[in-house]
Amino acid sequence: MQNISLTRYLIEEQREDRIGADLRLLIEVVARACKTISVAVGKGALGGVLGEAGSGNIQGEAQKKLDVIANDVLLEANAWGGHLAACASEEMDHCHPIPDVYPRGNYLLLFDPLDGSSNIDVNVSVGTIFSVLRCPEGVTQAADEHFLQPGTEQVSAGYCIYGPSTMLVLTIGNGTHAFTLDREMGSFMLTQREMRVPAATKEFAINMSNQRHWEAPMQDYVRDLLAGETGPRGKNFNMRWIASMVADVHRILTRGGIFIYPWDRKDPTKVGKLRLMYEANPMSLLIEQAGGASSNGRMRMMEIVPTQLHQRVPVFLGSREEVAKATEYHLAHDAKATSAVA
């Protein structure tokens, strides 16, 4: 593969009129911020950045020092460029309009600055997830409600995984592509064009410790996976669970699989653990652009109309035939329940 940097890839996409200068700048700025985060994460204990920050976020989660650092890096990097109207983050209660001292642009940026941060202290891969929406016409002071757009409205999405290598996986709506950070040059280099998720899989990713809390169709679906080749599915399945969404999704983009975080009864008030706007939707766009599928167990993820900035959602994403199968179990269960009532 030719030595194509992220900058060259974006310039070539702009030359083909697939993105404008502002979106190109936005992506370059986010990528540069991810390089800064990669350096901080890579220092580990030597950087004095491990452990708790001593604060909590709107999710009710204790923040890690690196959660706060990553959030601040992304806010600072995106403040002055003139390409954004506002940012929203897992780590902030409400959206953060670009300060009045800077020009504002037409995009809204959402991010989970450091997803999987519970893994940092045990040196497991973590990542930054981001999603880009257009700011609605005529809005000069963006507020939370302006972010409440379905995933189909995303103009770009991506993640940066801080693993053995640091990789940026990106879509601007023209396929999903992977860039590996050349640390000597400080550039993201295109290392995989057009990632493709195999349609079928024999590998599922789920936290099995929650099994007793799942609803019936989820119990039935996983029971049949575990029954293997002598069961209804007629094949044996393998399981992986890294408990870092970016790492699990990266594996699925690379070799297929299905990632599931279903609704469970542990906290019936929560419809899921993962957040729609800056986890499920960006990952769904990346997966769909790579030929995969993503649902909440009953409908296409990216068609969900959001009602809250931090709303949670059940997630089924990956190999499209497996996502369809899991969704089928849920819809069949609902149809039976409906006919029983009728």
Residue numbers of the site for ligand P6P (CB under 6 A)? 115-116, 118, 207, 243-245, 273-274
Query: Rounded to whole angstroms, what are the CA distances from 207 to 13, 116, 293, 318?
Result: 39, 14, 20, 16
For residue 29, the cross-strand partners are none
Q: How far is the CB of 229 from ligand P6P (least distance, A)?
A: 28
CB of 274 to ligand P6P, least distance (A): 6
In whole angstroms, the minimum distance from the beta carbon of 2 to ligand P6P comes to: 34
Torsion of CA 320, 197, 318, 129, to 10 degrees: -140
C-beta closer to ligand P6P: residue 24 or 250: 250
* Residue 180 backbone class (left: φ over 0; alpha: ψ -120 to 50; beta: rest): beta
Which residue, 85 or 245, is less far from ligand P6P as judged by CB? Answer: 245
Q: In this complex, which beta carbon is closest to ligand P6P, that of residue 87 or of residue 252? A: 252
- Is 98:104 a contact under the CB 8 Å cutoff? yes
Number of H helices, E strands in the chain: 8, 17
User: Under DSSP, is residue 93 helix (H, G, I), strand (E, B) or coil?
Assistant: coil
For ligand P6P, the closer CB: 49 or 317: 317
We find the least distance from the C-beta atom of residue 161 to ligand P6P, in angstroms, to be 11
Query: Quick one: tokens of 131?
Result: 């999603």
Alpha carbon distances (Å) from 82 to 85, 101, 105, 107, 313: 8, 10, 5, 10, 32
**Start-to-end CA span in the chain (Å):** 60
For 237, phi then psi, to 5°, come to -115, 150
Which residue in the shown chain puts its C-beta closest to ligand P6P?
A: 245
Choose between 108 and 245: whose C-beta lies nearer to ligand P6P: 245
Q: Tell me which DSSP letter residue 301 carries.
A: G
Query: What's the longest Cα–Cα distance across the chain?
Result: 66
Is residue 319 a contact partner of residue 292, using CB atoms and an 8 Å limit? yes
- Minimal distance, residue 131 CB to ligand P6P, in Å: 15
User: Which residue number, 146 or 250, has a Cβ lying nearer to ligand P6P?
Assistant: 250
Residue 126 beta carbon to ligand P6P: minimum distance, rounded to whole angstroms: 8
**Residue 249 C-beta: closest distance to ligand P6P, Å:** 9
Shortest spacing between CB 29 and ligand P6P, in angstroms: 24
Q: Which is nearer to ligand P6P, 218 or 245 (CB)?
A: 245
Residue placing its CB nearer to ligand P6P in the complex, 13 or 115? 115
Query: Taking the CA of residue 33 as centre, how many other CA atoms within 13 Å lie in the half-sphere pointing to its CB?
Result: 27
Distance CA 307, CA 147 (A): 10
Residue appearing with tokens 């999987």: 116
